[in-house]
Amino acid sequence: MSLSRSPSPNKGGGWSSPGLATNFDNLSGRSTPRKGYGEIQMNGGMGGSDASWATAKRRSDQVNGYPSFSTRNNGFFSRHARQISRSLPSFVKGAEKEKLGRGRWYPNNGSRPGRILGFLGRTIWRLRLRLLLVVSFILAIIIFYVTPMHRAYRKASILGGGSKFVIILAANQGGGVMEWKGPREWAIERDSVRNKKKYAKKWGYNLEIVDMSTKKRYAHEWRESWEKVDTIRNCMRKYPKAQWFWWLDLNTFVMEPSYSLQKQIFNNLGANTYRDINIYNPLHIAHPFNNSQLDPDSLSPVGDGKPSSIDLIIPQDCAGFNLGSFFVRRSTWTDRLLDIWWDPVGYEQKHMEWEHKEQDALEHLYINQPWIRSHTAFIPQRKINSFPAGACGDHGEDPRIHYKEADRDFVVNMAGCEWGRDCWGEMYNFRELSNKLNRTPWEKFKDGISARIKAMKAKPEKKEGKS
């Protein structure tokens, strides 16, 4: 037999619920189904156990009330919050209900500039991470160039590579043979030294200022200007980690300090130099050798053709080799060259014939020694040693030799200015031209304003002169 509900747990059936098990048939409307207090006591109290009134009340409280640890409406303000709020004065009577947007801030009361500012503010906030990266990058660049960090970077051999280069400047601070110099000579030396110091500091190069005052190297001779050979050798000992040594005469001026040696020459040494002297051969030297007993590199017009074998870089002017600005690299070949070049035997035999001294000695070695040619390269004159119009000017201006402002030549050399030309005048003019060409945008702006003001002042003076 299936049951529609669970069977009663009591014996004989029936439900344990008092409301369902109580018989209400014999009860009148005046009687109550609850037992009296006396009956409860006679039946052994509630649930068959002794229970006092206090116990019954506690049980009743647990069912109908809140637990004893509850904090609801226990405090004064909690019980009387509504009454206190009603008793507060109302300053705005008949206030409208809160509208959409009430309490929000609008720039300039929602005007068009205010809306634009609000839009910009929201855009900046949405792109804040990207803007933070951009601002950090700009600050890093500013800090890098304002502080000495960029000089340290350029000087490091692993990074910029500036420590691999040494600039040797012949300052002649002692005054030459007579140990005397006038104001113009001192001014030339001051400007030239300052120019080289600024350039070397910018790119992290080493600068060696050599006193080329005449010294009696040997007891029987004076060898002024020949000492540059011995000076280069001394610099190689002083800077053991340097690779390239750049010799500069005192009458030279770096016109473009923004050009680094790496970018100007050495990053692409093969393309910036030429090995075959027949490309430009003012001395008409027969090249290459035609002796079949020589090795292939000596018989080739370009040697082995590898830039790594270049140990000497020299320019040529209208008269041949020019050593006012040239490069030499540290190598075993270079040590051998310097020893032979400085050999006093050659000086004793040829010093009366060699007008240009050490320059003519190198030309003699190049002409007669095959091993010299295989490691020598030439560089266009205007690449590192442009001449002013007065130098080599017998046949007019030569585009391969003379300085061109439009092409922004790197270095100018006032070679031979002491023979009938104004050395200080040329140095001053090229210094001012270099300052003009390398102005910053702000300096160009200021100079433009000054030029306009001067032009405006000049017009009334011309009118007064005509009247």
**How large is the average pLDDT for residues 107-114?**
69
Q: Averaged over 231-247, what is the pLDDT?
A: 94
Phi, psi dihedrals of residue 325, rounded to the nearest 5°? -155, 110
| Cα distances (angstroms) measured from residue 451 to each of 159, 376, 440, 442 | 43, 49, 16, 14
CA–CA separation, 304 vs 297, rounded Å?
A: 5
SS3 state of residue 254? strand
CA–CA separation, 346 vs 348, rounded Å?
5
Span 104-110, average pLDDT: 57
Query: How large is the average pLDDT for residues 153-168?
Result: 84
Q: Over the range 133-167, which residues count as b (16 or more CB within 10 Å of their CB) and which as e?
A: eeeeeeeeeeeeeeeeebbeebbeeeebbbbbbbb
pLDDT at 221: 54
Give residue 14's pLDDT band: very low, low, confident or very high (50, 70, 90): low
293 or 109, which is more confident: 293
Using pLDDT thresholds of 50, 70 and 90, give the confidence band for residue 116: confident
Query: Which residue is associated with the tokens 């009387």?
Result: 80
Q: Is the dihedral of CA 219, 223, 224, 225 positive or negative?
A: negative
What is the model's pTM? 0.68
Nearest to 327 by CA among 374, 373, 377, 364: 377
Instruction: Point out the least confidently predicted range of 88-92, 108-112, 201-205, 398-402.
Output: 88-92
Give me the pLDDT at residue 27, please.
47
Q: Which of 25-34, 77-86, 191-200, 442-451 has the lowest mean pLDDT?
A: 25-34
In the predicted structure, residue 54 carries a pLDDT above the cut 60: yes
Least Cα distance to 224 among 123, 375, 351, 310 occurs for 351
Q: Which two tokens stand for residue 5?
A: 């509900």
The answer to whether 294 touches 368, Cβ cutoff 8 Å, is no
pLDDT at 119: 85
Give the highest mean pLDDT range of 72-76, 110-114, 275-279, 351-355. 275-279
pLDDT of residue 352: 65
Sorting pLDDT into bands at 50, 70 and 90, what band is 122? confident
Residue ranges of the alpha helices (H) in 259-357? Answer: 261-264, 269-272, 296-299, 332-341, 344-350
Share of the chain above pLDDT 90, in %: 37
pLDDT tens-digit readout, 284-302: 999 999 888 899 988 999 9
Task: Retrieve residue 421's tokens.
Answer: 């030309």
Tell me how many helices (H) and strands (E) the chain has: 19, 9
Specify the 3-state DSSP secondary structure of 281: coil
Q: What is the pLDDT of residue 269?
A: 95
Q: What is the mean pLDDT of residues 239-263?
A: 95
Give the Cα-Cα-Cα angle 358, 318, 209 (nearest 5 degrees): 45
- Find, among 361, 356, 354, the residue nearest to 340 by Cα: 361
Range scoring the smallest mean pLDDT among 111-120, 341-350, 430-439, 452-461: 341-350
Q: Between 45 and 281, whose confidence is greater?
A: 281
Residue 25 and residue 33: Cα distance in Å, rounded?
A: 11
Q: Which two tokens stand for residue 266?
A: 């050495």
**Whether residue 388 has a cis bond before it, omega within 30° of 0:** no
353-393 pLDDT per residue, tens: 776 678 888 998 999 999 999 999 999 999 999 999 888 87
pLDDT of 186 higher than 60: yes
pLDDT at 264: 94
Segment 76-85 mean pLDDT:
67
Which pLDDT does position 41 carry in this prediction?
Answer: 47
Write the secondary structure of 446-457 as one string of H (helix), E (strand) and C (coil): HHHHHHHHHHHH
Contact 351, 357 (CB under 8 A): yes
Q: Within its chain, how far is the Cα of 4 from the centroid?
A: 90
Please state which of the ranges 173-177, 305-309, 423-427, 438-442 shows the lowest mean pLDDT.
Answer: 173-177
> Structure tokens of 467?
């009247």
The DSSP code sequence of 186-228 is: HHHHHHHHHHHHHHHHHHT-EEEEE------SBTTB--TTTHH
> What are the C-alpha distances in Å from 257 to residues 164, 293, 382, 431, 438?
18, 47, 15, 12, 8
pLDDT, greater one: 211 or 229: 229
pLDDT at 111: 78
pLDDT bracket for residue 52 (50, 70, 90): confident
Residue 180 pLDDT level (bands cut at 50, 70, 90): low
> Is the model's pLDDT at 49 over the cut of 60?
no
> Does pLDDT of 118 surpass 50?
yes
The reported pLDDT for the residue numbered 43 is 47
Q: What is the pLDDT of residues 393-437, one digit of tens each?
A: 777 788 999 999 999 999 999 998 888 889 999 999 999 999 999
221 or 213, higher pLDDT = 213
pLDDT at position 350: 67
